[in-house]
Amino acid sequence: MFFNTVKKYFNLYVLNRQRAGDFVYLASQICAPVVGFFTSIIAAKYILPYELGVIQTVMLISVYCSFFHFGVFNGLNRNIAFYEAQQNKGKIQAMVDASWITAIINSFIGIIVSLIALVYYVMHGYPTLYLYSIIILFGILIFSPISTHYETIYRSTRAFMPLGIFLNIRNGVNLLLGFLPVIFGAFGLIFRNAMLPAVNVLLLYRNSPIKSKTIGRIDEILDLVRVGFPMLVTGVLYIFFNAADRTIVALTLGPTAVGELALSGMILTAIQVLPVSIGALLYPRASYIYGLSKTSLALKKFFFSV
């Protein structure tokens, strides 16, 4: 009796591919801040606070560019699962196309913002480390929108097994690149931060559950904005509040103080890992159930069963 019960739960929670995918994804999310904290310790040991502060100051620009998609990716995260429940594949493909063109437009905007920042630093005679740090800005603003597009598709289609595997690979790459400051100092950190967004795109693109087929339509983009913009506002405000202290320190105390402040942010990130990861797992499933029933009452049983 006991062994039959153990076998039943083993098959249900361990061998079940969906459950296994959840565990793999959660593992990748838990490992990410651990790797980030470890690499930050290495950076703090081999990079001067001033150098670390300059890099962090330049990276703040990317934080304030995080709203350029106006909620398209947030809307896609909800709508794929919603329309999948209704078996509306045409609508899903149209939304993926709309999200893809939004990501491309955001990447071009990122190039323009990075060039403006570069020209500004050159014209105002900033030290060369600021100019080299612009490489990070190019990497983040060009590749992050595309990476977010693909990662959203994986999450909303509940493809957590391949997503978790890819994110664990990214964690491994991040760990390896984290040792670059030991040899190359600040330039090693610049290379690492610039390369990671590109690595994400390379990992996620090939096996994306849904790929773009045509140029997205403006009405589909507006539909995603309508759904996703309220969620974006909440998320962006939270991000802005988290970046506010570094911004104020950068404007008033200079890059050295920003560098000394940088490590404290890793503690906050680590605290958020579990609730954020669980939310990422549950949200697409809730959207799918809502798409089936078209009533919020159906979600009551789902959340209480969780």
Predicted local confidence at residue 268, as pLDDT: 57
With vertex at residue 234, the alpha carbon angle to CA 277 and CA 157, rounded to the nearest 5 degrees, is 40
Enter the tokens of residue 126.
């900033």
- Phi, psi values for residue 11, rounded to 5°: -65, -35
- With respect to residue 6, please indicate whether it lies within any of the assigned structural domains: no
Predicted local confidence at residue 87, as pLDDT: 84
- With respect to residue 209, please indicate whether it lies within any of the assigned structural domains: yes
- With respect to residue 11, please indicate whether it lies within any of the assigned structural domains: no
Count structural domains, the chain.
Answer: 1
CA pair distance 32, 62, nearest whole angstrom: 20
Query: Would you say the pTM of this structure is higher than 0.85?
Result: no
- With respect to residue 2, please indicate whether it lies within any of the assigned structural domains: no
CA pair distance 179, 55, nearest whole angstrom: 17
- With respect to residue 8, please indicate whether it lies within any of the assigned structural domains: no
Predicted local confidence at residue 283, as pLDDT: 54
- Give the closest residue to 92 by CA, choosing from 14, 199, 208: 208
Q: What residues of the chain score a pLDDT lower than 70?
A: 1-19, 263-306
* Cα→Cα distances 154→3, 45, 46, 48, 59, Å: 36, 36, 37, 39, 27
DSSP code of residue 112 = H
Predicted local confidence at residue 130, as pLDDT: 94
Predicted local confidence at residue 230, as pLDDT: 87
> What burial letters (b/e) apply to 166-202, b meaning 16+ CB within 10 Å?
bbbebbebbbebbebbeeeebbbbbbbbbbbbbbbbb
Range of the domain at 75: 21-305
CB 217 within 8 A of CB 97: yes
- With respect to residue 38, please indicate whether it lies within any of the assigned structural domains: yes
- With respect to residue 116, please indicate whether it lies within any of the assigned structural domains: yes
Question: What secondary structure does DSSP assign to 244-278, as a single string?
Answer: HHHHHHHHHT-HHHHHHHHTHHHHHHHHHHHHHHH
Predicted local confidence at residue 155, as pLDDT: 87
Question: What secondary structure does DSSP assign to 5-64, as a single string?
Answer: HHHHHHHHHTS-HHHHHHHHHHHHHHHHHHHHHHHHHHHHHHS-HHHHHHHHHHHHHHHT
Predicted local confidence at residue 107, as pLDDT: 95
